[in-house]
């Protein structure tokens, strides 16, 4: 008789959807998948979702795997930074403010001015931007004081879902490091007091490997199922790749990120690099751009072209900051097109959009490694993940602007896979990154380097430097 597979489930609750993977603990094979969409609302700088919708989507996605009643453990990875406010009964006070909601830009600037960028970097590892939870809470307290006053608990998206599963109030060091009020050793009470927030409203930060609890009866899982601590989406993706220190990753999704696991604690007073913790005992310095694949797809639609229909040549430069920008910190910026000629083609404009989206990420790559005390090695291939990694135009753009080889892991849904590795570690006693390396999740085709396009890089750098007064400062 064939042996029954041991199964865990990993969840990715992102801005757009909840995805769940049922994974064989021993082989890493995906045995079932579930998915349910989310709705994002808001105009201008607002981006919000109803947390109750996330909970319903989680149930649908877990059921879709076919293993919700038999999984040996479960873990939830979720979008970072989101502000979830709950009343004393655990119900949302208002829709959650998502990471890419930029309304808190004035509050972020005021916070930095009050304490100083150097002190922020020293105390919490990062200089707050509009994305950070602390800026969002400051915005809420200033503009919706009744909602802030009705808030009995503040959670991140993955905290909220884990809490609904277990009935507990927990988070992990990785996701906590994106709030702006966690110091690496615990909550910074002075910083919290400055925005009128008490630690009693915050979840307990679990140690790496500690479980959050077990599934409650009546929920989407078998009662008593162990639930891991969970983590933020970028930390979960790092686990899903089994990252070793110093290996850089470029993630090309709706947003773009570049990060690496480091042994040194990052602290970048320029604000380019966020000094996140990973989900284990190390660190995950990261730079993030708001405008990546979605911005390029929008430009393609405006031009009436397929996203892959690019053409080389020309001197046109595009800064596709369609939703403001985080790196560089220009939350009020819009897109900019420069250098049009009579012979400029639509395909060249589209290629310029790719170049502009990739440029900020690649420019921050050395800063990410330096912030964590890691030496940059240009001979190490970049790991390219996210939806954009599947497109030849994105791969070719990254190779041309970096001069480096890129490797594209064959594994899909790395956030959910990382959460699954975290769940599996509860069962096997391994480290989650060891589980992922055993599953060989980072394996995939290698695309050799091409000569770096220094002329394009120079045009981009010059355009950005001269356009900043027009774009608006952060």
Supply 370's token pair: 């330096």
Question: Could you give the residue numbers annotated as active site?
Answer: 233
Phi, psi (degrees; rounded to nearest 5) at 195: -115, 15
Residue 1 has what pLDDT?
A: 43
Confidence of residue 325 (pLDDT cuts 50, 70, 90): confident
Q: 153: how many CB neighbours lie within 10 A of its CB?
A: 19
Residue 474 has what pLDDT?
A: 45
Mean per-residue pLDDT over the chain, rounded: 94
The residue behind tokens 């596709």 is 320
Enumerate the H helices of 16-156 as residue ranges. 51-64, 105-115, 117-124, 133-143, 145-149
CA distance 27 to 204: 33
Convert the pLDDT of each residue in 334-370 to its tens digit. 999 999 999 999 999 999 999 999 998 998 888 898 8
- At residue 120, the 3 state secondary structure works out as helix
Phi, psi (degrees; rounded to nearest 5) at 49: -145, 155
pLDDT at 331 over 90: no
Enumerate the H helices of 65-178 as residue ranges. 105-115, 117-124, 133-143, 145-149, 157-166, 173-176
Phi, psi (degrees; rounded to nearest 5) at 436: -65, -40
pLDDT above 90 as % of the chain:
85
Residue 366 has what pLDDT?
A: 84
The residue behind tokens 């008490």 is 198
Confidence of residue 3 (pLDDT cuts 50, 70, 90): low
Convert the pLDDT of each residue in 255-310 to its tens digit. 899 999 998 899 889 888 999 999 999 999 999 888 999 999 999 999 999 999 99
Listed as own residue / partner, the contacts of 454-458 with beta carbons closer than 8 Å and 24 or more positions apart are 456/355, 456/400, 456/401, 457/359, 457/401
Residue 473 has what pLDDT?
A: 53
Which pTM was predicted?
A: 0.89
């Amino acid at each position: 008789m064939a042996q029954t597979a041991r199964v865990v489930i990993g969840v990715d609750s992102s801005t757009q959807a909840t995805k769940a993977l049922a994974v064989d603990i021993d082989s890493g094979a995906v045995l079932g998948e579930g998915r349910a969409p989310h709705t994002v609302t808001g105009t201008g700088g607002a981006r919000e979702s109803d947390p109750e919708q996330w909970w319903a989507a989680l149930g649908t996605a877990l059921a879709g795997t076919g293993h919700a009643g038999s999984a040996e453990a479960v873990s939830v990875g979720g979008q970072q930074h989101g502000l979830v406010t709950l009343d004393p009964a655990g119900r949302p006070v208002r829709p959650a403010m998502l990471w890419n909601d930029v309304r808190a830009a004035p509050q972020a600037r005021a916070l930095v001015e009050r304490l100083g960028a150097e002190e922020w970097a020293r105390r919490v590892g990062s200089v707050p931007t509009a994305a950070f939870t602390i800026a969002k809470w400051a915005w809420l307290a200033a503009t919706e004081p009744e909602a802030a006053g009705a808030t009995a608990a503040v959670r991140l998206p993955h905290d909220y879902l884990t809490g609904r599963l277990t009935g507990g109030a927990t988070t992990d060091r990785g996701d906590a490091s994106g709030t702006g009020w966690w110091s690496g050793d615990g909550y910074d009470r002075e910083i919290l007091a400055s925005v009128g927030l008490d630690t009693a409203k915050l979840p307990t930060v679990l140690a790496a490997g500690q479980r959050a609890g077990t599934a409650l009866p009546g929920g989407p899982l078998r009662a008593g199922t162990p639930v891991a601590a969970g983590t933020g989406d970028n930390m979960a993706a790092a686990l899903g790749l089994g990252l070793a220190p110093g290996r850089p990753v470029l993630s090309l999704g709706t947003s773009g990120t570049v990060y690496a696991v480091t042994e040194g604690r990052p602290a970048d007073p320029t604000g380019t690099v966020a000094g996140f913790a990973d989900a284990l005992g190390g660190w995950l310095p990261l730079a993030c751009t708001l405008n990546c694949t979605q911005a390029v797809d929008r430009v393609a639609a405006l031009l009436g072209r397929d996203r892959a229909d690019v053409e080389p040549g020309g001197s046109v430069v595009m800064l596709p900051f369609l939703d403001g920008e985080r790196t560089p910190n220009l939350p009020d910026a819009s897109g900019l097109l420069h250098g049009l000629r009579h012979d400029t083609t639509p395909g060249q404009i589209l290629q310029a959009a790719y170049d502009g989206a990739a440029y900020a990420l690649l420019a921050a790559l050395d800063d990410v490694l330096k912030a964590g005390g890691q030496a940059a090695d240009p001979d190490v291939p970049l790991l390219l993940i996210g939806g954009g990694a599947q497109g030849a135009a994105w791969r070719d753009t990254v190779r041309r602007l970096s001069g480096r080889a890129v490797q594209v892991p064959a594994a899909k849904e790395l956030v959910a896979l990382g959460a699954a590795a975290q769940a599996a570690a509860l069962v096997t006693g391994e480290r989650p990154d060891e589980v992922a390396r055993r599953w060989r999740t980072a394996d995939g085709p290698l695309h050799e380097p091409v000569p770096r396009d220094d002329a394009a890089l120079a045009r981009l750098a010059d355009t950005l430097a001269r356009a900043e007064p027009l774009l608006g400062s952060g």
